[in-house]
Structures are given as structure tokens and as C-alpha cells.
Amino acid sequence: EAAALSKDEVWQLRKKHFCPAQSVSYANTDPLLIVRGQGSHLYDQEGNSYLDTRNNVCHVGHCHPKVAAAVAEQAATLNTNTRYLHPNLCLLAKRLTETFPAGSGLEVCFFVNSGSEANDLAVRLAFSRTSSRDIIVVDHGYHGHTQQTIEISPYKFDHRGGEGARPNIHKVPCPDTFRGPHRGPDAAEQYASAVAAACKTAGNVAAFFVESGMSVGGVILPPKGYLQAAYRAVRQAGGVCVADEVQVGFGRFGDYFWAFEEQGVVPDIVTMGKPFGNGMPLAAVVTTKEVSDAFHNGLEYFNTFGGNPVCCAAGLAVLDVLRREGLQDNAAKVGKYVCEQIRQLSTKHELIGDVRGRGLFVGIEFVRNRDTLEPATAETSEICSRMKSEHSVLMSIDGPHDNVLVIKPPMCFSIADTDCMVQAMDQILSTLVGPTPGVQVTHTPT
Ligand code: PMP
């Protein structure tokens, strides 16, 4: 029955049965009906292929056959909750915790179903570990869609429809060295001193939530030393440090399996999601014995779907494929090439204000003027829209000014994929027509 529906019928059903708050990419131009995925490509109902530069969920490649087979086999064998012993759950906990730096103490796992759930639970863990309710968050940060996680997400509470910061939430500036208030050699110290100041205001801190690379903030890579100094201040104030690795974990940074490693810190709590199950709902909180012991206060923790054998089979397969196919190294190699190629483009296209990236987490910030840094918001929208309509390349836009194109593709993204994306971007930048009134791309950060 599903295959018999036309694209228009699907679109009508979507409009009828879903709240428009659940936005659809390219809704104002021509939304996509995607029916198949493979590697770094997606295919529509007519068999047209699209290069996917934005999906960091299908981490080891869309519909990777090893992950699909592991899921199918486990689904045909057993799928139940975690109240029974099952090897998948425990093996996954072992393999996952082995990825953390030796001696980190990050050895206790909670498997959940989404990044939001992971961060929601991290808040509870922080509350039970400390006597405080005060949380420090980074401006433009996003940690999830539940009530609790919206309250710690400036990207939500400070945006249209948001209710502002609750009194227990302390916002610090995003450590953006391109357009933020601190851009010089002392930027790390200056941004970290804002965290220290927030600790002072709060008095007693429960937690500091920070993405190790800020995604919806516009691919912000904190300056070296920022997390070390910030963590020190938070711990002095009695708080725990939570690394949100939902976007950037699992080798995406190329040189590091976990993005926080680049900053030489060890968090008390790590949250992860998106890429973990290659599209299956699998996310996790990993913490220390100390934090876990404080949480074990009589109130039972049970999660019906979290850590079920099928999702764990996906997680095991993802870890396996990442290693066997050398995808972390691929991210390092291809990511470097992406940055080089875009930098090359920036020598002839003034609109490219900044290119920044680690591994396959790259941001291109467009500006109208390289001195004033006036954001080229409408132009970014046009580029993103035309990349899809003229070249079948899917991209996404992030950043507080909606002027950063984000490249965070499946980890099998290749040099050839990069060439295809860069050539398309070059052509568009050479023929940019400028803002078209009324035409807007829906920005749908993922
Ligand atoms: N943290 C970060 C950094 C995210 O980007 C997201 C999702 N965009 C989440 C948490 C929430 O994850 P989920 O959508 O799986 O609930």
C-alpha cells in the first residue's frame, strides 16, 4: 500500500496528520520523497540519487548491509526489555566503554532511545550527585526536545516560541572565535572565565552541559584549553561536567573517537545518540561509578525500549563496521580534503568568510563582508536550495544567523563525493543571483 501512494498523496497525508511544527526539508520548494539509501546517497521514488552531506545519523553509511543484517537477525530471534540478561546489552557496554581513554572511569552505561533522553537522564544524574539545581549551558546549544532538555537548550528557550531561561539556568557565551566577543589568542581563557563567573553567580553548581563541537551553534570548535579551564571552574563549584557527544562522537572528529578528547578533558558524564545505532533508536549515557552510585538512591530506573537486543545489535555492528572499514581514519582524511577544497574556493568567492572543521564535521560560514562579518543569510539559503535543486546535493544550514552550511555526512563520504559537492558549490557561487523575496528554505537542523 505504501509503495502505491504518489508523492502528492504522501505530502497531503503528512499535512493532514502532522503538526506543522514538525518541519519538512525543502517544504517551500519541493519536498523530497526518499525511499532508499545506500552509502552516502539517498534515492527518491523515481530513482534519482542525492548526495547526502548532512546525515550524521546513518553514521557508517545509509542502510549498511552489516548493520541491517545484524538488526534483521536479532529482530527475528528476540526483542525484549532489559530485565533479562542478554549478551548484546552487556557486550555493547563493554565495547562502548573500551572506547574511552584508559583510566577515565567512564564505565557505567544507561542505554536509552534518543539524545534527548540521554541528556534528560544526565540532568537527573547531576541532580542526584550534587545538592544543586543550577546548570550552566552554552549559548546556542541544543540538547533535546523534552521539557527538561529544552530548559537547558538556549537554541530552544531563547528562540521564537521559547520561554527564556529559568532562574536555575546560567547561559555562557558560545566560544566562537570567528564572530564571538573573544577572537584572539586569549579567547579560550576569556570564554572559560565566563564559565567561572557563572559558577560564582550560581554558587553551587549541578552541571555544565557542553557540546564538544557546537552543531546547531554553527559548527563551533572551542579554542584549545577552553574545556580544561571551564571544567576546572565547574568542578571547583561542586558541579559535574557533561559532554554532549550526540553530534560529534563515534570518530566523527577523525583524530579522536570522542570529540572531548581533543581538548584533553575527561567528563563525568558523556551523552551520545544519533550515530550509535545507524538510524536505529539507540542512545546512551556513560558515567563514572561515583555518579552512578549517587543515582542509586532507591528510585528504580527502568526504560522499556532502552537497550533492547535489536538496538544493541545495531550498536555492536556500528562499532564493528567503524573499526573494520577504518571510517574514523576516512573522516580524518576526507575531512581534511573537504576543508582544503573549500578554502581553495574561498580564494575566488568572497562570500566564504570562514571554513572550520575537524574530521567530517565542517562548517562554511558565509558573510557579505569579511571585515564587518555581516551574515549572508539569504545567500546561504539560496546556495543550500540550489545545491539540491540543481545538483542533487543535500546540505543543511545552522548557526544563530542561519549562514553556516554544515557538512556532517555519513562517515563513508569519499574524496569523489567531496569533488562533486565542491564543484557544485563553485558553480552556484559563480552564478549567485542574490536574495529572492519570499523564497525560503526551511532550515531543519538534525
Ligand atoms: N544533543 C545534540 C547536540 C543534538 O544535536 C541533538 C539532536 N539534534 C540532541 C541532543 C537530541 O537528540 P535526539 O533528537 O535524538 O533526541
Atom of ligand 1 nearest to the CA of 115: 12
Q: Please name the residue whose Cα sits nearest to atom 12 of ligand 1.
A: 115
| pLDDT beneath 50: ranges in the chain | none
- Kindly report the number of other CB atoms within 10 A of residue 186's CB atom: 12
CB-based contact 57:411 (threshold 8 Å): no
CB neighbour list of residue 317: distance below 8 Å, 6 or more residues apart = 64, 66, 67, 69, 70, 71, 278
Q: What are 259's three cell numbers?
A: 570529540
CB neighbour list of residue 305: distance below 8 Å, 6 or more residues apart = 81, 113, 281, 311
For residue 142, the CA-to-ligand 1 centroid distance in Å is: 7
For residue 115, the CA-to-ligand 1 centroid distance in Å is: 5
Q: Please name the residue whose Cα sits nearest to atom 1 of ligand 1.
A: 143
Q: Please name the residue whose Cα sits nearest to atom 10 of ligand 1.
A: 143
d(CA 310, CA 212): 29
For residue 274, the CA-to-ligand 1 centroid distance in Å is: 7
CB neighbour list of residue 289: distance below 8 Å, 6 or more residues apart = 105, 107, 108
Alpha carbon 32 to chain centroid, angstroms: 22
ipTM: 0.99
Amino acid identity of residue 275, one-letter, is P
Ligand 1 neighbours by CB, cut-off 6 Å: 114-116, 119, 142-145, 211, 215, 244, 246-247, 273-274, 446
Mutate to test the pocket of ligand 1, among 153, 211, 247, 396 (most ligand atoms within 8 A of CB): 247
d(CA 258, CA 251): 6
Atom of ligand 1 nearest to the CA of 274: 15
For residue 348, the CA-to-ligand 1 centroid distance in Å is: 35
| C-alpha gyration radius of the chain | 22
Atom of ligand 1 nearest to the CA of 283: 15
Q: Domain spans of the chain?
A: 7-60+326-430, 65-324
Rounded (10°) angle between helices 309-324 and 87-97: 40
CB neighbour list of residue 212: distance below 8 Å, 6 or more residues apart = 222, 227, 243, 244, 245, 248, 249, 258, 259, 260, 262, 263
d(CA 361, CA 219): 7
| Residue 306: predicted pLDDT | 98
Burial (CB count <10 Å: 0-12, 13-18, 19+), residue 321: buried
> Positive or negative, the Cα torsion across 191, 174, 366, 332?
positive
**Pairing relationship of beta strands 135-138 and 169-172 according to DSSP bridges:** parallel
CB neighbour list of residue 33: distance below 8 Å, 6 or more residues apart = 7, 10, 11, 44, 45
What is the domain class of 65-324 according to CATH? alpha beta
Three-state DSSP at 314 gives helix
Q: What are 71's three cell numbers?
A: 538488526
| Residue 115: predicted pLDDT | 98
Which residues on adjacent β-strands are paired with residue 209? 137, 242
Q: Which CATH superfamily is domain 7-60+326-430 in?
A: Aspartate Aminotransferase, domain 1 (3.90.1150.10)
Which residues on adjacent β-strands are paired with residue 404? 365, 398
Q: Please name the residue whose Cα sits nearest to atom 13 of ligand 1.
A: 115
Q: Please name the residue whose Cα sits nearest to atom 5 of ligand 1.
A: 247
Atom of ligand 1 nearest to the CA of 245: 3
pTM of the predicted structure, to 2 decimals? 0.96
CB-based contact 238:134 (threshold 8 Å): no
Burial (CB count <10 Å: 0-12, 13-18, 19+), residue 10: middle
For residue 444, the CA-to-ligand 1 centroid distance in Å is: 12
Atom of ligand 1 nearest to the CA of 116: 16
Q: What are 329's three cell numbers?
A: 581514519
**Pairing relationship of beta strands 34-38 and 41-44 according to DSSP bridges:** antiparallel
